[in-house]
Amino acid sequence: MANIFHSIFRAFSPSLWGRGGAARSDRAGVGPRIGFGYDVHRLVEGRPLWLGGILIPHTHGLLGHSDADVLIHAICDALLGAANLRDIGFQFPDTDEAYRGIDSKILLRRTADLLHRRGYRVGNIDATVCAEHPKLNPHIEEMKAVLAPLMDITTDDVSLKATTTERLGFTGREEGISAYAVALIEKTE
Ligand SMILES: [Zn+2]
C-alpha cells in the first residue's frame, strides 16, 4: 500500500514542487488571476451616502477620508489583489491630502489604469454589500451602469448583491456598512 501512495506522490510532485517551480516563474502573471477585497466604513449623521458610485438618499452617510464608498473600495482591493499590487491604502494613502473627499470613482478608474499598464484586463466582478438600511436592491442596476465603464467592462461583467446581516453585528446595528468583492483579471498580451 505504501508503494501506491509513493507512486501517486511521485506522479503529482513534479508539477507541485519540482520543475513546476521553474515553469511557474516563466509563466508569471499569465492566465486568469483572482483577487479578493473587503472594506468597512462607519455610518454617521451629516454625511452623504455614496455607494457603488451613486448618491443614495439616507439619514446617514459613510465616514472616511475619501467619499467612503465602501463598495468601490472593496472592488479596488479585489482588483489590486488579483494583480498583486497591494491595496487601496497603499496605492492611494489616506494621509495624502490629494485624496481628501475624493470621488471613489476616480480611485476605481486609476486602479483599472494601473492594471492596464501591467497588461491586465478586468474579466468580471462579483460583490456583496452588507447593510441593514437603506434597501439597496432598487439601486443595483444604476450602480452597475456607473461602475462597469470605469473598468472597461460591460454591466454583464459586474455582479452586485445586497444583503442584511439579520440585525446581527455592527451592520445589523446600523453602525456601519461592509462590502466584499472578488475580481477576475487576465493578461492581454
Ligand atoms: Zn474604504
Where do the structural domains in the chain lie, given as residue ranges?
Answer: 1-30, 32-187
Give the mean pLDDT of the chain.
Answer: 89
Per-residue pLDDT of 169-188, as tens digits, reads: 999 999 999 999 999 999 98
Mean pLDDT, to the nearest integer, of 80-106?
94
What is the structure's pLDDT at 28? 62
Residue 27 Cα to ligand 1 midpoint, Å, equals 33
Residue 22 Cα to ligand 1 midpoint, Å, equals 38
Percent of the chain predicted with pLDDT > 90? 79
DSSP 16-73: HTSTHHHHHHHTTT-S-EEEEEEEEEEEEETS-EEETTEEE--SEEE-SSS---HHHH
Whether 110 shows a pLDDT value over 70: the answer reads yes
Mean pLDDT, to the nearest integer, of 5-28?
48
Mean pLDDT, to the nearest integer, of 133-143?
97
Its CATH class, for the domain covering 32-187, is alpha beta
Which cell goes with 15?
508539477
Residue 69 Cα to ligand 1 midpoint, Å, equals 6
Which cell goes with 181?
468583492
Does the CA dihedral 81-82-84-88 come out positive or negative?
Answer: negative
What is the structure's pLDDT at 94? 87
What is the structure's pLDDT at 29? 62
- Are residues 120 and 187 in contact, defined by beta-carbon separation less than 8 angstroms? yes
Whether 109 shows a pLDDT value over 80: the answer reads yes
Residue 41 Cα to ligand 1 midpoint, Å, equals 6
Residue 38 Cα to ligand 1 midpoint, Å, equals 9
Residue 140 Cα to ligand 1 midpoint, Å, equals 19
Per-residue pLDDT of 35-91, as tens digits, reads: 999 999 999 999 999 999 999 999 999 999 999 999 999 999 999 999 999 999 999
* pTM attached to this predicted model: 0.86
